Structure formats: structure tokens, C-alpha cells
Structure 1
Amino acid sequence: MRRWLAAWSLAAVLAANAAHAADGPLSVCLDEDRPPLSVHHKGKADSGFDVLLAQAIAERIGRPLKIQWFESKLDEDSSPQLEANALLSDGRCSLVGGYALTTDSLVKPGMKTARLPDFTGATREDRRRRVALGELTPSQPYVYSPMTVVLGPKAKGRKIADIGDLAGLRLAIESGSLGDAILMTFDKGRLIDGITHLVPGRDDLLGALASGDYDATLIDLGRFDAHRAAHPDTAITASGYYYPIGANRGYVGLASDPALIDAVNKALTELAAEGKIAEFGRQAGLTYLPPREPVILGDVWMKIIQR
């Protein structure tokens, strides 16, 4: 009898905890400085496409939204994939938004533990400790994020239908970036003589382009959107060309909570069908492109080399 009562009591506790989790806040981790996707600055209202979308999903599944803001800083012991996994595995959130859906970003991590990125509310101990990592599982994608050619004032109006159309222009690119790999390897190095390498974090790539020092660059479309929002009178312009290899973005959660991913996918399907996801993009100043195949991008470096 006592064993039965003990088992019943444990089952009741587990059921109560599950019900609380289902009714509690939907906790979403977002990067605090990734305009126009997500922005969080002290003294200012939170903004961005991923903020609007997270609010809509939380409302759709009947749970209040709690955003856990974090700051992504790469070092030799970390990466966006490990940071997201650490935040989820530590219970800081149930979902990470704006996650690039690639094969590499979703594989089981080779490391068993990782450090947490800086996040709102972090203590000194949080910054020192390591977190045991879990396995990630993605939602369906909700936006496509490609690379785009951006033109300086002297090249304004130049028609770009392919990377080869950049021949003869003064090109600037950040060393070690995806754009760097694309431009340097194009057609066996045909563009190399026209490329100037800038140092990320030290040189102002888009500022140099706007001042006319260079004619074109290849960057993430969202980065151009962010620059245009911060500098409405900028002299740089969109070419309208998107490099054919790009990644979808979606949510990522832990594989141990498939019910949450199912609920999020249902909400995303409904919001997309109603045109609301595209509207959130317009409200946030994002050049919204719907997801496309492949849903999960394979080895991007091999695709670039083989083109």
C-alpha cells in the first residue's frame, strides 16, 4: 500500500510539473544585438523581427513570452552552435530564435560541455562554469537568409546577375568571412586582383563602401538591412542579386522536448499561411524572403568550391 501511495505521489508530482511547464512562460533566447532580427538595449524598447514572431507564437500556443537576452562573442572555445546548446541545456530558455539551419549547426556536438555566453542576469559563477550539452532539434524554417551584393555610390545601377559581373570593380571583403571564400574562389580566382581584405571588428566595411573607397561587397542580407535602418541616407544600394547558396533560419530546441517543437511548427504554419510572418519582416525593416529548399543547408564550403 505504501509503495502504491509513493508511486502515485511521484506520478502526481511529475504530472503537475509537466502541466506547469505547458502553462508557464515560453522562454526564447535571442541575441541582443542582431538588427533587424533582434535588438535589446537598456532604456529602449525591445525590437526586431524575431521579437515580433516570438510574441505571436507565444500568443498562438497560449503561453506568456519570456525573452532571455544573450550576447554572442566568439572565442576559440565557443561557437554559435555551442552557445545555443549551452543556453538550452542549462534551462535558460526552451528555444533559441534566428538559428541558421545547417547540417554543421545541428550535428551532435563533439564536445561534452561548453561555456555559456554572456546573458542578462548572469552571475560571476555563470561566466566561469561549463554546461553539459544535449542534442538539438530544429523547428521548420521561417525565413531565408542569403548573401547579397551591395554596391557603392560609384557602382550604383550596375546590373549584377552573377558573381562574374563583379569583374573590374574594386571589391572589399572581410577576411575569413563566407563572402571572402566565395569571392576568392570564384572561377579559379578570377576576381582576386580586385579584392581588398579588411579586418573584421577593426575596419568599417560598409562605411568604406559608402564613402566610395570601394565599389562592391558580398554580405549577409540582414546586415545590409541593419545598416540601411541605422543610416537612412546611406550611399550604398542593394544590387538585388542573391548568391544562390543561403541558409534558412528557424528555432532550435532540445531533442528531449519534441512536443514544444510540434506546437511551434503548427503556429509557424498558421502564421505563414496568414501572411503574418512576412508582415513582421516589413515592420522590422527586414527584406523578408520565405524559406526555400533545401530546408537544412549541407556543406556550404564544398558547395562554394564546386561552383
Structure 2
Amino acid sequence: MTAWRTARSVAAILVAAATVAHAADDPLRICLDENRPPLSVHHRGKPDSGFDALLAQAIAERLGRPLAIQWFESKLDEDSSPQLEANALLSDGRCALVGGYALTQDSLVVPGMKTARLPDFAGATREDRRRRVALGVLAPSQPYVYSPMTVVLGPKAAGRKIGDIGDLAGLRLAIESGSLGDAILMRFDKGHLIDGITHLVPGRSDLLGALERGEYDATLIDLGRFDAYRAAHPDTAITTTGYYYPIGANRGYVALASAPALVDAVNKALTGLAAEGKIAEFGKQAGLTYLPPREPAILGDVWKQIIQR
């Protein structure tokens, strides 16, 4: 009997060891947007790059697993939903984590619909583009970067001091329809800026290029988007003002709520990397104006806060 128990114990240990070894060999699959510089960039024939790509590699190393990035394409238009796209990718098993996710209350609520289509992703088939995926519930990691909105000025307005949105009065403003910046500018001081605003169609208009050409004087966009433009146009005449709109969102990872152990492991890795200054270093390498996460970790009702300002 003793020999049998010993043999069974040895067998259990071997099975456990094999399971751990298998987990270590199992790639950590992280979904990243293929065209969101300087956060993440993937172009055929060129090395993958970006802040989130560097961070993903570091997270995988901390977890002792190889990294497998599932690249996907998120459309910049009024009909796109980053929340549903991320949920569909996770729920379909395309990845275990989605990086660069804006941590807001409305982006983490239980989806109002049961299914959604997948965004276009590397390796997608015609059938993948047609089918709908049953959605799950999302769970966030701790944040790892703060993503504010900033005022960007064209050449004719260079040097203009901006300490508040009201300082944009009298300038020719351009904004993409349906964007957060659109809501902020249109609602400011009960429509005080409306007469100076021109709306552009997302994905069809070159907002920063128009600003560069002097067609408009200013806009309000995500700071990372300006970083990307500056990297592609090092001699640009458009500038930021150092002003950040006070309502901004942290970014982090998001997983399915059914994977709490993975989220815990990722949080531990993020804590270690932040303490060592590695996350800020990745931002510098990628050309990102890195700002550490701010409280609250998860932004509340964005629209309510905009209306109340």
C-alpha cells in the first residue's frame, strides 16, 4: 500500500511538473492594434515596433512565456467600437490580453449586445470577417500609462498660450466628428466655441496635415497621436502647448473576467517593471511622451464630466 501511494504521489508530481512546463511553453498571446504609433506598429516586411510591443515582450519574459502578438486593425470611424472589438478578439480566443486599452467605466461594462463581429486581424479568413462572436465580460489590469488629450497648434497660432479650453476662442478649430475632442469643444461653455469649429470625417480627412498646411489653427487630440505625427514629420511646424485636458484615461491590459490568475500575474509584472523604470524607458524608446498612470485608475462617466465642466 505504501509503495502504491508513493508511486501515485510521484506520478502526481510528474503530471504537475509537465503541466507547468507546458504552461511555460504556451505563448502569451496579446492582441495589439497594428497601426497605432507610437503605441504599436506592424507593417509587412518591417520589424514590429511601439511602446506596447516593447512592454508586451517584457511582460511575457516576466511570466516566463514566449510572446505571440495577434495584430489586428481597428478602423478610425464613427461606427467602430474598440470595446466590442477587444471583447470579440478575447472571446474568440485570438488572444488572452488586449494591450493599450483605455480604462474607463463605460469600456468595461457588460456589453449591451450578446455578439459582435471581429475586427480584421492577421490571418483572418473570409469566414472570420462574416461571423459574429458570443461576447464575454472584461476585466482590466492595473494601468501602465496615462493618455491625455492635448491642444495642438498650427503654424499661424504658434506661441499662443493655452491654459484652458476657453483660450481657443477666436481660433479656427478643426475636429473629427464623433470624437471625444468634438464633444469637449462643442459643449464648452454652452457652445461658446461652436462658430469657430470645422468638423472633419474620421478616417477620411488628414486632420494634422490640414493643421500643418495652415488651413486651421488648432485641434484637441490624444497626445500619442501627436507623438506619432511628429515621429513621421520631424520638421513639423505644428506644436503642442503643454496643456492637457483634465479628463484623461489610463491605458492598461484587458482580459476576460474568467482569467483572474492571468490578470494577477500581469499586475505583478507591471508593478515590478514600473518600479525599475522600465515602462518609462519603453516609452522613450518608442518616441512616446510617457506619463505615469493617474488616479482614478478607471475613469468614470466621461460624458457626464464633460457636460458638468
What TM-score, normalized to structure 2? 0.91
1:231 is aligned to 233
- Counterparts in 2 of 1:36-51, with a 5 A limit? 36-51=38-53
State the SS of the aligned residue for 1:267. helix
State the SS of the aligned residue for 1:179. helix
1:301 is aligned to 303
2:158 is aligned to 156
The answer on whether the counterparts of 2:33 and 2:71 sit within 8 Å (CA) in structure 1 is yes
Aligned-pair CA distance for 1:77: 7.7
Aligned-pair CA distance for 1:45: 0.3
Deviations 1:104-155, CA, capped at 9 Å, x for gaps: 1111112111111111111122112221111110000000111100011111
1:3 is aligned to none
What is the CA–CA distance in structure 1 between the aligned matches of 2:157 and 2:172, rounded to whole Å? Answer: 9
Aligned-pair CA distance for 1:57: 0.7
Deviations 1:23-48, CA, capped at 9 Å, x for gaps: 41111000101100000000000000
The answer on whether the counterparts of 2:76 and 2:202 sit within 8 Å (CA) in structure 1 is no
What is the CA–CA distance in structure 2 between the aligned matches of 1:240 and 1:63, rounded to whole Å? Answer: 39
- Cα distance 1:172–1:83, how it changes in 2: closer, same or farther (>3 A)? same
Q: 1:287 aligns with which of 282, 289, 294?
A: 289
Aligned-pair CA distance for 1:73: 2.8
The two structures, once aligned, show a CA RMSD in angstroms of 2.1
Aligned-pair CA distance for 1:74: 6.6
Aligned-pair CA distance for 1:276: 0.7
Aligned-pair CA distance for 1:292: 0.4
Aligned-pair CA distance for 1:20: 2.7
State the SS of the aligned residue for 1:98. strand
Aligned-pair CA distance for 1:182: 0.6
2:186 aligned partner, one-letter code: M
The answer on whether the counterparts of 1:136 and 1:254 sit within 8 Å (CA) in structure 2 is yes
Aligned-pair CA distance for 1:15: 9.3
- Cα distance 1:217–1:87, how it changes in 2: closer, same or farther (>3 A)? same
- Counterparts in 2 of 1:1-307, with a 5 A limit? 20-21=22-23, 23-73=25-75, 79-307=81-309
The 4+ residue runs of structure 1 with deviation greater than 2 A are 12-23, 73-78
What TM-score, normalized to structure 1? 0.92
Aligned-pair CA distance for 1:294: 1.0
State the SS of the aligned residue for 1:161. coil
State the SS of the aligned residue for 2:224. helix
1:302 aligned partner, one-letter code: K
The answer on whether the counterparts of 1:78 and 1:114 sit within 8 Å (CA) in structure 2 is no
Aligned-pair CA distance for 1:202: 2.3
Aligned-pair CA distance for 1:212: 1.2
Q: Which segment drifts farther, 156-165 or 15-24?
A: 15-24
Share of identical aligned residues, percent? Answer: 87
The answer on whether the counterparts of 2:26 and 2:65 sit within 8 Å (CA) in structure 1 is yes
The answer on whether the counterparts of 1:170 and 1:195 sit within 8 Å (CA) in structure 2 is yes
Gaps of 5+ in 1: 1-8
Gaps of 5+ in 2: 1-10
State the SS of the aligned residue for 2:221. strand
Deviations 1:58-87, CA, capped at 9 Å, x for gaps: 111111100000111378886211111111
Corresponding pairs, count: 298
Q: Which segment drifts farther, 212-221 or 20-29?
A: 20-29
Q: Which segment drifts farther, 51-60 or 111-120?
A: 111-120
